[in-house]
Structure 1
Amino acid sequence: MNRVCLTLPTNRACSATITALHAEADYAARRFGADVQLLILDSADDTTRAEHTRTVAALPVRPGVTVHHLDEERQRAWLRRTIRRAGLPDPDRLLRLMLPPAVSYGACTNRAFLLAAALGCRSVHRRDSDSTYQLHDGQPVFPVHHELPWLGRPAAEAAAAVTRTDLEPALADRPVSLAGASFIGELSVDIGEIRRLDEGVYHDVVGLWAPGDWPEERRRALVEESFTGAGTAPFTGDRATLTRVDPMRVDMCNVAFDRAVYERVPLPPATDTIGSDYFLLHLVHDAHLPGILHNRHIQNFHTPERRTDTGFPAYQRRFVKFLLSMLYFHDVYDRMAAEGEGLLDARHRVRPDRVVQFLRESTALDRTENVWRLDRVDTAYRKLGGRYAAFADRLTAEREELLDQAERDIEDFAHLAESWPALVEAART
């Protein structure tokens, strides 16, 4: 039986999402005969987690669906045992990278990857707690419909089942390594208020995630499509393309990876940074691995805590850290693209050593471009005034620390990536 992990990392109240995810797990088990390990990694506060526990307890028993609801204490205990079994140096650092005290989109997904390996799963299917499924003819539109049948199988076998194929014939014998779609609804990054306040400032700020040497026309095109997902048009019928999936067309709330990817390389464990969980999308594309791009987009929404007096500066800081991370990631992405099929071993599995090398070498980059980014953010936010100007004051005070953190985040990622194969092997045992 095909054992898979359908996972929901969360740090907020999301009982309705848990119930909906269980319905998707049941769909996967009934329609495809899958053995679904439904994994809820719960970092919410005690009161919210207790409500989640009641929600899980009320879920109906379904054949082929096993529910795991783990709070951080249980996750930490398991991670500590796994790290000790791996026998790696500096275990405390590894534990901190796997379960940091601050928000980390990459680290929570890495825990799902490692637990999936322990559970013997062949793929991981990730959803988010601030999204929900579309409805079509009164029925939820489950992405697992396109994810389950083909992950890990040769692309040639999937060709007859998709709507169209846009894949080089030479890649037909390689395994389908990713299946994903995007979202409809609100921007994936909660900066819509900036656009409403000043279109010019929005362009200046969003354009900062492009490489510093891009011409203005190319930068403007990136701004227009950034964080917009699949727009707002609802689902009307299935479409799926067998292709090398463009990372810009997939969101991490709506993606599945084959284990030959996530058991080889983890995600960046950076804290307080949005976008830190998108690395594997680039790796799969640049390594010339096949994927399925479908149109079962998830409905995205924003939770209100990001706009509160405490949530606003915390979220804006994550956004700025994302901008600073791109100095390093653009360099790594360029090198992965140039390496191409050299990123794979003879069994079409990604090579962690090449990724680690690129990460380590990127940390030697000059920081001038990131100083420029901080200058541009400061100017833009002061132009907006109000709480944006107040946030700019905070950025000024944290300027050097932010520059240091951006470099340190890449060093941490390289360390975790180097340790990852041993961690996966320890998790399996």
Structure 2
Amino acid sequence: MRSICLTLPTNRPCPDTITALGEEAAYAADHFDIDVHLLVLDSCPPPDHAAHAAALRRLPAHPRITAHHLDEAAQRDFLTRVTARSGSAKPELLLDLMLPDGLSYGACTNRAFLIAAALGCDSVHRRDSDSRYQHLDGRTVFPVHHELRTLGARAADAARHVTESDLPDSLGERRVAMVGSSFVGELSVDIAQIRDADPGVYRDVVSLWAPEHWSADQKRELVEESFTGAGTEPFSRDHALLTVVDPMRVDMCNIAFHGPTVSERVPLPPARDTIGSDYFLIHLVHDARLPGVLHNRNIVNYYTGERRTGPGFLAYQTRFAKFLLSMLYFHFVYDRMTEAGDALLDEHGRARPAVVAALARESTGLDTAENTRRLDALDTAYRRLGGAYADVADHLAGSRARLLDEARGDMADFALLTEAWEAMVTAAKATPVTPAAERSR
């Protein structure tokens, strides 16, 4: 019987989300021949951690569901043993990239990938703490329904379990590497206040994540499409498409990856304090022409208040600025991956980490003049908005050199981690998650 990892990384109080995640785990175990490892990676302070633990204890017992609730100390202990066992000459650096001092969307999911490998899971199914499931006729609409019908199967076999397919027959022998959907509700990036205050400034700001050489029409189309997910239409009936999934159609709050094909081969960029750093594998799956399934069990996105006031507002807007700077490097890598196509895969149809690492490392040699211009444009836009946004502009102006250096350094870190990833996954598979299990073995 295969095992899956249904995971929720969180740094905010979310006992209700954990309860709903437990219900999704029960749905998966009741409807499919699998064992479920429900993994909560908890970076919250003790009171919130205790509330999460209580929510997990209240979940009904199920013979094929095992809950794992790891605070950062427990995660660090596991990662310390993995990095030591990996044989790396730089275990302390790898540990820092896996559990940095600061927020990292990529690193928290990388930790889930390694723990899933340690637990013997074939796939990782990620949800977010600031989202919730839709309902229809009194039943909850769980994304895992579509994920488990097709993930990891030969595309030719998966075709029987979807509504339609536009996948070329030539890709039928490849495994379904990713199953995902998007969200409905608020924008995925919390910048709707900019749009509401000044649509012109919003267009100027959002267009900054496009490649600089794009035409005005291309940038306009990107602005209209960006961060909107699946819009606002509620779920009414199932639809699943077997395809090479467009990265703009899925979101990391509603995603599942097949480990042996993707997430055990290449990690996510571990960039600190950078929105969007966890979306890389979606692009890799697309550019390598790995089969995926795009379904419509969209998750509802909402915001928590800490992003919109005081220090939380400044921190969030800085993460958004770092996202814009990261795109200089990511666009270079994405373009090269598109050119590489099938060369991104080995003879078994699995992602080739050496190719990805080489492209990431090559990108670090790019001229940063484009990013300087991005910061100039962002400064102008935020000062037009005034108020708290002018304060953000002041903060960014005082941090320009550091931000430019960090954007480049983040890609160098990604290259290093990708080069070490196979050895780390192998080590994780030989490393029990808890020290007690290690001793008993």
For this structure pair, what is the TM-score category when the shorter chain's length is used for normalisation? over 0.9
Given that 2:178 and 2:293 are in contact with CA atoms closer than 8 Å, whether structure 1 keeps it comes out as: yes
Q: Which residue of 1 aligns with 2:356?
A: 355
Unaligned runs of 5+ in 2: 431-441
Q: Deviations over 1:210-229 (max 9, x none)?
A: 00000000000000010000
- What does 1:361-372 correspond to in 2, within 5 Å? 361-372=362-373
CA distance in 1, matches of 2:193, 2:29: 41
Shift, 1:50, TM fit: 1.1
Q: Which residue of 2 aligns with 1:334?
A: 335
Q: Which residue of 2 aligns with 1:407?
A: 408
Given that 2:149 and 2:161 are in contact with CA atoms closer than 8 Å, whether structure 1 keeps it comes out as: no
Given that 2:211 and 2:327 are in contact with CA atoms closer than 8 Å, whether structure 1 keeps it comes out as: yes
Q: Which residue of 1 aligns with 2:167?
A: 167
Shift, 1:363, TM fit: 0.3
CA distance in 2, matches of 1:64, 1:20: 17
CA distance in 2, matches of 1:265, 1:390: 38
Q: Which residue of 1 aligns with 2:314?
A: 313
Given that 2:246 and 2:286 are in contact with CA atoms closer than 8 Å, whether structure 1 keeps it comes out as: yes
Q: Which residue of 1 aligns with 2:122?
A: 122
Shift, 1:55, TM fit: 1.2
Given that 1:206 and 1:223 are in contact with CA atoms closer than 8 Å, whether structure 2 keeps it comes out as: yes
Name the aligned partner's letter for residue 325 of structure 1: S
Name the aligned partner's letter for residue 257 of structure 2: F
- Tell me whether 1:37 sits opposite 2:37 in the alignment: yes
- Displacement over 6 Å in runs of 4+: none
Name the aligned partner's letter for residue 20 of structure 1: A
Shift, 1:150, TM fit: 1.6
Q: TM-score, normalised by structure 2?
A: 0.97
Q: Deviations over 1:200-241 (max 9, x none)?
A: 000000000000000000000000010000000000000000
Name the aligned partner's letter for residue 22 of structure 1: G
Shift, 1:33, TM fit: 2.1
Q: Which residue of 1 aligns with 2:222?
A: 222
CA distance in 1, matches of 2:63, 2:246: 36
Given that 1:33 and 1:64 are in contact with CA atoms closer than 8 Å, whether structure 2 keeps it comes out as: no
CA distance in 1, matches of 2:11, 2:22: 18
- What does 1:28-427 correspond to in 2, within 5 Å? 28-259=28-259, 260-427=261-428
CA distance in 1, matches of 2:78, 2:391: 42
CA distance in 2, matches of 1:305, 1:131: 15
CA distance in 1, matches of 2:174, 2:78: 34
Name the aligned partner's letter for residue 147 of structure 1: E
SS class of match (1:426): helix
- Identity, in percent, stands at 62
Q: TM-score, normalised by structure 1?
A: 0.99
CA distance in 1, matches of 2:3, 2:263: 15
Taking only aligned residues, the RMSD between alpha carbons, in angstroms, comes to: 0.6
Shift, 1:151, TM fit: 1.2
Unaligned runs of 5+ in 1: none
Shift, 1:54, TM fit: 1.3
SS class of match (1:149): helix
CA distance in 1, matches of 2:364, 2:279: 19
Given that 2:184 and 2:301 are in contact with CA atoms closer than 8 Å, whether structure 1 keeps it comes out as: yes
CA distance in 1, matches of 2:327, 2:141: 34
Given that 2:150 and 2:161 are in contact with CA atoms closer than 8 Å, whether structure 1 keeps it comes out as: no
Aligned residue-pair number: 429
SS class of match (2:160): coil
Shift, 1:90, TM fit: 1.4
